[in-house]
Structure 1
Amino acid sequence: MLLIPLLTAAAIAPGVNAGAMLRFSCSQLVVERLDPLVNPGMIPSPHLHQVVGGNAFNVSMDPNSLDLPSAATCTSCTPAEDFSNYWTATLFFRARNGTFHRVATKGNPLGFGAANGGQTVYYLGPSGNSKVTAFKPGFRMTVGDPTFRSDAQLKKYPMLTFTCLQTSTTRDGATTSFPKAPCKVGIMVSIRFPTCWDGKNLDSPDHQSHVAYPSSGSCPSTHPVTIPQVFYETVWDTTPFNDKSLWPTDGSQPFVWSFGDPTGYGIHGDYVFGWKGDALQRAMDSGSNCNSDLLGNSLNCPALKSQTIQQGNQCSKRQVVNENLDGWLTELPGGMKVA
C-alpha cells in the first residue's frame, strides 16, 4: 500500500513551528441557530452555525453549572475524551436570481472522507521542548469579527484564510476573502486561534481579551502562558455550485456567510473547552508523535482513547430551532441581510 507521509504542523499551518500536534476528525453534530457564547440563552440566535463536538451543546452552556465531559453522552470527534464544542458560521450560495442554498460541509479528503461533514481540528504546540499548558475547565474563546468587511480590518487576526481546493492537497494560494473562481474540490476555511493566555481568566467580556497572538515568536508579558493553538479546517462542498451560469452576471463571487457577509472578511470561530480530565495535557505532553493518519481513521495517539470516524458520525443532536434550512430559500435564516 502506498503510504502518504504525515503533513508537518509547519506545512499545514504556515507560520507555525512544528511541535506537538493533534489532528483529528469531528463529524457534523448539528446545524443550528444557537450561539451560547455571543448570545447565551437566546433562542434563536441571529445567524446560523455549524457545530461539532460533544452533544451537550446547548443554548446557554454556563461554565458555572455545566461540565461538558459529564453532561455529554457522545462526541462527534475521534478522540473519545474530547467533548469540546467547535463552531463557525454557515456558508450559503446566492444564485443569480437572489435565492440562497446552504452549502454542506464534507469530510477532509486527506484521510477523513468518511466523516459526515464537520471539520478537521488541530491542537498545535510550540516547537522544541517549550511547555504548553492545556486549557482549564470552563475555558472558552472566539476569534474573528463578523462585522469586518475589509482586508485591513482582518489584519487584526492574521491566521483566518480561505483556500480554493483544486485538488485535495492544495495548500497554497490562501486568501483572506472568498475565492473569486470555482474551486474543483471545494473551499477550505482555516481558522487559527491565538496561542497566548493571561493565565487568569477562562473567558472575557468580548471572549477574546484573555488570549493573544504571539509577537516575534514570543507571548507578550500580558499573556505569558503558552496554550495549544486550536485550528479548524472546514471543507465546504461548493462543487454543486460551480456552474457559472448560476453566478452573478457581473462575474462576482456568489458565496455569503450566514450573517450576511458577501466578502468573507467577517470569518470567525467559537471554541468551548470540554476535554475529560487531563486528556489534552497528556496528548500535548506526548510530543509530535500524537498525530492522526492521513490515510484513515487511526488517531495514532497512545496517550488518548479514540473512536472511529463511523462512531463519530453516530453522534448528533436534534435541532432546537425548528426552521427550514434545506433547498432554495428566499432569504438567509433569521432574515439576515447581505451587506
Structure 2
Amino acid sequence: MPRSARTPRTSRKKRSSLANRAVAASAALILGGGGLVAVNVYASAGEGRPSAAPPTRAQNVGRQMSTIDCPDAGIELREVPEQARGEVDRELAAMDTQITDAYRQFADRKEQISQDPGLAENAVLGPLRSKRTASLDRIAIAIGRVGERPTGIESLAGCSLRPDDNAPGNPGGTGGSGDSGSGDTGDGNDTGTGGNGNDGGQGGGNGGGNGGQAGNGPQASDFVDIQSVQPNVDRPRQRRGASRGTFTTDCGRNENGKFNPDNVIVAPGVSNGAHHMHDYIGNQANDAFATDDVLANGATTCRNQGDRSTYYWPVLRLQNGQDEADVDADGGGRDQNVGEIQTPSEVTLKFVGSPVGRVTAMPRFLRIITGDAKAFTNGDANANASWSCTGFEDRQLRDKYPICPDGSQVVRTFAFQSCWDGRNTDSANHRTHVAFARADGRCPKGFRAIPQLVQRIVYDVPPGPGFAVDSFPEQLHKPITDHGDFINVFDQRLMQKMVRCINDGRRCR
C-alpha cells in the first residue's frame, strides 16, 4: 500500500523528510448516502455564493487580480447514488486538480493578465471552464445511469478571477507598508471559539508585500496584533442536566513526523488529493488508501491504545525563505506550500459535553471535517477554525493570523461539530450528517448530542508576521481556510468510558 513517509531530522525544530509522491491522473471524493443527487446551486445564503462569471475590463480597473474563484461542486452535490459514487468521486477531485493547474498558469502570467485581461479568458478561464463542463457532464451521466439525471449542474462550471482586497494595490490593502492598523472584532460563533477577525491589519512582514509564499500569500495585512482585539468569546450557559465532564486523549505532537498531502475523507484513493501537507497524530495508517479495516488495525501514537482515531490538519510553516524537504514534492513546493514545517509545542485533544443535556456515543468510523479548506473563495459559511495567543485566548480570530507578544505562543483551536444525525458516519458533502449546536446549546431537530472534540494546537514561532498554514494554491494561505479532520476509531469500551465520564461530570483520561 503506497504511503508517504518522512524520516526525522533536526533543525530549529524537529521535522522530517518527505518522500516524493506521484501525481494522480484522477482523484476521488467520497460521497456518502444513497438516492438521487440533489443540486442546490447556491439557493440559500450561507451555503455558497452565486456562480462565477468572467470579469470585465471595468472590474479590473485599479484592482490586482489575485486568484481563481470557482463554485465548489463538492458542497453542492448533497446525495449521490451508491452505484455512481466511484465515478463521481473521481470527477469531483479531478476538478480540484484542474483549478490547481489553472492557478499555476494564472500565476505565471499574472503581470501580462493585469495589462491584458482578455488573456485571462483565452489562456486560463476558458480552458478551465471547458474542462469543468466536461467533468460535470460526466458526473451527470454517471448519476443518470442509475437514477434521475441532475439538471442545472452545468452552472457550476464558470470561474472568474478575483482580487485579494487586503493585498497591496487593491482598495483596502495594507500589506507591506510597515504601518499597522486595527478594526473591530466580530461576535464569537456558537461554540465560543470562533469570532470574526479584524478588518484592519498589521503592516510590515514579508517580501515588500509580495507575501510569504513568493506572491502566493499570506499578506502582512492577514495578521493582526492580538492585543488590539477585544475579548469576544461567549459560551452558552450550562443548564440543569448539562454533561459537564471531559475526556482527554494524549496522542502526541507528531514528533515522529507523519505527513502527507492526502485526505482520505474527501479524496480516498488519490495521492495528493489535498494539494497541501497534513500533520497526523493518532492512527499511523492514515493515507489516501486507508479503509476502515486498515484504520482499525493501524498503529497509534495515542497513549491509550483503545484510541486508534486519526486527527489531522494542515501543517504550519515558517515563511523564512528556508526550504523544507518537500520543496520539490506534491503538496509542498509543487503546490506552492513552502517554508519550514513547524512541530507543535503542544497538542490537546479534549472531548466535552453538551450544555443542555447528556451525550451519546459516537459511531465508530464517524468522519467529521470542521472548517473549510476553500473558505477564501467559498465564503465563510463553514469556516470554523480560530486563532489566538497563549494568555489571550478570550480573544479569537477566524480571518486573521495573530501577532503574539514576546513570551506568548500562537494557538489554533478547532471545536468540532457536536451533533450527529443518528444514522450516517459520513454524508455526500461530508457535512450534513453532523451539525453544530444552536446558540442555546441544543442540537437541531433530528440530531443528538455527541462528545465534542475540541482540538488546541500551540506553536512556538517568532513574534510578528512570518508563518502560514498550507492551503490549496488558489486559497492564498488565508487563515480562514484552516480546517481539521477527525475519524473516530475508539474501541467500544473506551468510547463508553468517555460517554460515562462526560455525562457523570468527571475529568478522565
Task: Report the TM-score, using the length of structure 2 for normalisation.
Answer: 0.45
> Is residue 190 of structure 1 aligned with residue 413 of structure 2?
yes
Q: Which residue of 2 aligns with 1:289?
A: 506
Please point out which of 216, 219, 238 is paired with 2:443.
Answer: 219
Q: 8 Å contact 2:285–2:298 — kept in the other structure? A: yes
For residues 298-323 of structure 1, give each alpha carbon's deviation from its aligned partner in whole angstroms, at most 9, with x where no partner exists: x3xxxxxxxxxxxxxxxxxxxxxxxx
**Partners of 2:345 and 2:323 in 1: CA distance:** 29
Conserved? CA contact 1:105–1:234, under 8 Å: no
Distance 1:238 1:195 in 2: 31
Counterpart residue identity of residue 394, structure 2 = D
The answer to whether structure 1 residue 15 and structure 2 residue 239 are counterparts is no
Cα offset, 1:47, TM superposition: 1.0
Secondary structure at 1:123's aligned position in 2? strand
Q: Is the 8 A contact 1:93 1:256 kept in 2?
A: yes
Write the distance in 1 (CA, Å) between the matches of 2:429 and 2:366: 13
Contact 2:323 / 2:339 at 8 angstroms: preserved in 1?
no
Q: Is the Cα–Cα contact under 8 Å of residues 48 and 258 in structure 1 kept in the other structure?
A: yes
Residue 395 of structure 2 corresponds to 173
* 2:312 and 2:486 in contact (8 A); partners too: yes
Q: What residue in structure 2 maps to residue 68 of structure 1?
A: 295
Match of 1:237 in 2: 460
1:254 aligns with 2:466: yes
**Matched positions, count:** 251
CA deviations on 1:207-226 (whole Å, 9 max, x unpaired) are 1111111123211114x211
Q: Which amino acid is 1:290 matched to?
A: R
In the alignment, which residue of structure 2 is the partner of 1:131?
A: 358
Q: Which residue of 2 aligns with 1:105?
A: 343
Gaps of 5+ in 2: 1-190, 194-232, 325-337
The answer to which of 280-289 and 134-143 deviates more is 280-289
Superposed structure 1 runs of 4+ greater than 4 Å apart: 10-14, 96-99
CA distance 1:258–1:188, change in 2 (3 Å): same
Q: Counterpart of 2:250 in 1: which secondary structure?
A: strand
Do 1:255 and 1:262's aligned partners in 2 also have CA atoms closer than 8 Å? no
Indicate whether 1:278 and 2:278 are aligned.
no
Deviations 1:159-216 (A, max 9, x none): 5211123xxx542222112114566342110001111111111101221111111123
CA RMSD, 1 decimal:
2.9
The higher-RCO structure (CA 8 Å, 6+ apart) is 1
1:91 and 2:316 matched:
yes
Which has the larger strand fraction?
1
Contact 1:105 1:235 in 2 (8 A): no
Give yes or no for contact 2:370–2:382 (8 Å, CA) kept in 1. no
1:11 and 1:47, CA in 2 relative to 1: closer, same or farther beyond 3 A? closer
Determine which structure has the larger helix proportion and give its number: 2
Does the 8 Å contact 1:53/1:85 carry over to 2? yes
Among candidates 304, 311, 336, match of residue 79 of structure 1: 304
Whole-Å separation in 1 of the counterparts to 2:405 and 2:441: 36
C-alpha contact 1:93 1:103 (8 A) present in aligned 2:
yes
Q: Which moved more, 1:39-48 or 1:14-23?
A: 14-23
Q: Which secondary structure does the structure 1 equivalent of 2:498 belong to?
A: helix
Q: Following the alignment from structure 1 to structure 2, what is the Cα–Cα distance between the partners of residues 48 and 209? A: 26
Partner of 2:369, secondary structure, is strand
1:107 CA displacement: 3.7
Task: Give the distance between the partners of 1:11 and 1:257, measured in 2 at CA.
Answer: 22
Q: Partner of 1:278: helix, strand, or coil?
A: helix
**Rg larger in 1 or in 2?**
2
The reply to whether residue 207 of structure 1 matches residue 434 of structure 2 is no
2:375 corresponds, among 126, 143, 148, to 148
The 1-side partners of 2:321 and 2:286 are apart by 36
The one-letter amino acid of 2:442's match is S
Identity of aligned residues (%): 21
Deviations 1:119-177 (A, max 9, x none): 2111111247x221121122111111111128x933544x5211123xxx542222112
Question: Does the alignment pair 1:121 with 2:349?
Answer: yes
Q: TM-score when scaled to structure 1?
A: 0.66
Shift in Å, 1:96: 7.2
